[in-house]
Amino acid sequence: MVYRPRRLRATPRMRRLVAENRLHAAELVLPLFVKEGLTKPAPITSMPGQVQHTLGTLRDTVAAAARAGLGGVMLFGIPAVRDAVGSQGEAPDGILQRGIAVARAAVAEVEAETGRPGPVVMADTCLDEFTDHGHCGVLTADGEVDNDATLDRYAAMAVAQARAGAEVVAPSGMMDGQVAVIRDALDDAGFTGVSILAYSAKYASPFYGPFREAVDSALQGDRRTYQMDAANLREGLREADLDLAEGADIVMVKPAGSYLDVLHAVAERSDVPVAAYQVSGEYAMIEAAAAHGWIDRKASVLESVTSIKRAGADIVLTYWALEIAEWIK
Ligand code: PBG
């Protein structure tokens, strides 16, 4: 026998040497929830270990992310008051804008202390946390999600986020034309340097279930008229192409684990960085099985994220970002 592939698997040191992919803290992005009016962090039952933050604990967690060398933080806001058009999403003192400012200050503080770059501050640009009906856009009189009327709201929201200090805005509503409109609005407002991370191939998925609890979602029904059908690969590539043509700086595939084929195909054709979002349900499944003792938690987490990277992600959004950074230090 000439070929014995097992030689390269024989010892931990050999396996380490030949690993084709390895994780770095700098490519991980930690999603964080900040809720208006909280006095102490509120645990999210369906996402054990994750919480809705106060502005104070958000600050501390972003500082921890900076010390851990994470690549970014992705902020979501939960307002005290919701309305039909999601006004708090674009209010200068809206909770997400305040969270962005707090996060930027925390990053600056730790950077000054350590002399190393902190996480890029990103914000989710979408209406679902801010509308009383829970949809990602404004509705027509018949209750349909109105694509073009929603674009104006996204543009205003992106500018408000940029004003608050967001370095990356991340439109996640799957409205047609959202990247182009946001790019125009940012440029007109003088924010030519703010990047757009586009949730390009975003599928309608039950794996967002725990997220609904995380943001106290009011949604009745589903998002299938705007998020994509799990059956479709080609359509996901078309979405990514459109976002690239509209000026996306980074494109994303979401969820990650069930869409590694889409991720791989997008990574092959994209000449900008490709991100993948390991979503709340992916997190919850591993946590739940591990809590029962049915799977090894750490090994499962590392395998799931390594696989997302192997499929082609340059950047991974994962709720385990801080813990992984600790493990791989
Ligand atoms: C929309 C948004 C959602 C998630 C990220 N951005 C919810 C949705 O589209 O229904 C889900 C993230 C997760 O499940 O971890 N603002």
* Residue 300 structure tokens: 């499962």
* Residue 4 structure tokens: 């014995």
Residue 27 CA to residue 120 CA, distance in Å, equals 11
Q: What is the residue extent of each domain of the chain?
A: 23-328
The residue whose CA is least distant from atom 14 of ligand 1 is 208
9 C-beta neighbours (distance < 10 Å), count: 11
Atom of ligand 1 nearest to the CA of 219: 10
Please tell me the distance between residue 60's alpha carbon and the centre of ligand 1 in angstroms: 23
Sign of CA dihedral 216, 301, 54, 199: negative
CA-to-CA dists, residue 150 to 19, 86, 147, 173, 282, angstroms:
45, 10, 5, 9, 29
pLDDT the model gives residue 36: 98
The residue whose CA is least distant from atom 7 of ligand 1 is 208
Q: Which helix (H) or strand (E) holds 77?
A: strand 72-78
Is the link from the previous residue into 255 a cis peptide, with omega within 30 of 0?
Answer: yes
Atom of ligand 1 nearest to the CA of 205: 10
CA atoms within 13 A of residue 137's CA, in its CB half-sphere: 26
Instruction: Read off the pLDDT of residues 117-127 as tens digits, 9 standing for 90 and up.
Output: 999 999 999 99
Angle at 198 between CA 195 and CA 204, to 5 degrees: 160
Alpha helices in 5-52 (DSSP H): 12-18
Say what the pTM is. 0.98
46, 170, 159, 57: CA torsion to nearest 10? 40
Residue 5 CA to residue 84 CA, distance in Å, equals 60
Overall average pLDDT of the 23-41 stretch: 98
Instruction: Read off the pLDDT of residues 42-97 as tens digits, 9 standing for 90 and up.
Output: 999 999 999 999 999 999 999 999 999 999 999 999 999 999 999 999 999 999 99
Percent of the chain scored above 90 by pLDDT?
99
Atom of ligand 1 nearest to the CA of 319: 15
pLDDT the model gives residue 218: 86
Please tell me the distance between residue 211's alpha carbon and the centre of ligand 1 in angstroms: 6
The ipTM value here is: 0.97
Q: Average pLDDT of the chain?
A: 98
Q: Which CATH architecture has domain 23-328?
A: Alpha-Beta Barrel (3.20)
Overall average pLDDT of the 114-141 stretch: 97
Number of H helices and number of E strands within the chain? 11, 10
* Residue 18 structure tokens: 């030949």
Overall average pLDDT of the 205-224 stretch: 94
User: How large is the angle between the packed helices 55-67 and 95-114, nearest 10 degrees?
Assistant: 40
Residue 315 CA to residue 259 CA, distance in Å, equals 15
Overall average pLDDT of the 255-267 stretch: 98
Instruction: Give the DSSP letter string of 221-280.
Output: S--TTTSBPTT-SHHHHHHHHHHHHTT-SEEEEESSGGGHHHHHHHHHH-SS-EEEE--H
Annotated binding site for 5-aminolevulinate: 212, 223, 280, 319
Residue 223 forms beta bridges with which residues? none
